[in-house]
């Protein structure tokens, strides 16, 4: 149910924002979701219909793009996308790195009329 809370949060952010611009309907919401954010895009899609029902976002198209996980390695200085092995630096095989991208999720843009 964690995604329902997220979807409601997104709508609570988006709806008052677009209403400032005199719109009556949200057509499309584009989200970016990090691969390590813990948010499951499939669940977001599923709950979006429920959360949007009866709001100006009802029937809006939801697009979700994933954000790859990036790291900065303290051992070799690698700064880039994390490989398939999620706990090793793809460059030196070390484990001493910091995740710089991929834990976040945000609203990329909204189309409304």
Interacting residues with Zn ion (CB under 5 A): 73, 75-76, 78, 89, 91-92, 94
CA 39 to chain centre: 7
Query: What span, in angstroms and rounded, lies between the C-alpha atoms of 63 and 92?
Result: 36
Minimum CB–partner distance for residue 90 and Zn ion (Å): 8
Q: Describe the crossing of helices 41-52 and 2-19 by its angle, rounded to 10 degrees.
A: 50
List of residues 6+ apart from 29 with CB closer than 8 A = 10, 14, 57, 60, 61, 62, 63, 107, 109, 110, 111
Minimum CB–partner distance for residue 103 and Zn ion (Å): 19
Q: Which is nearer to Zn ion, 19 or 75 (CB)?
A: 75
Q: Which is nearer to Zn ion, 66 or 91 (CB)?
A: 91
Query: What span, in angstroms and rounded, lies between the C-alpha atoms of 90 and 83?
Result: 6
Minimum CB–partner distance for residue 72 and Zn ion (Å): 9
Q: Which is nearer to Zn ion, 76 or 107 (CB)?
A: 76
Q: Which is nearer to Zn ion, 48 or 78 (CB)?
A: 78
């Amino acid at each position: 149910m964690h995604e329902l809370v997220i979807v409601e949060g997104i709508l609570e952010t988006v709806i008052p924002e677009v209403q400032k611009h005199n719109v009556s309907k949200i057509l499309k919401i584009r989200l970016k979701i990090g691969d390590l954010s813990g948010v499951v895009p499939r669940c977001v899609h599923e709950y979006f219909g429920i959360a949007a029902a009866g709001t100006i976002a009802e029937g809006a198209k939801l697009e979700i793009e994933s954000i790859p996980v990036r790291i900065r390695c303290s051992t070799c200085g690698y700064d880039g996308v994390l490989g398939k092995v999620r706990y090793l630096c793809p460059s030196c095989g070390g484990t001493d790195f910091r995740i710089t991208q991929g834990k976040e999720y945000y609203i990329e843009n909204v189309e409304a009329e």
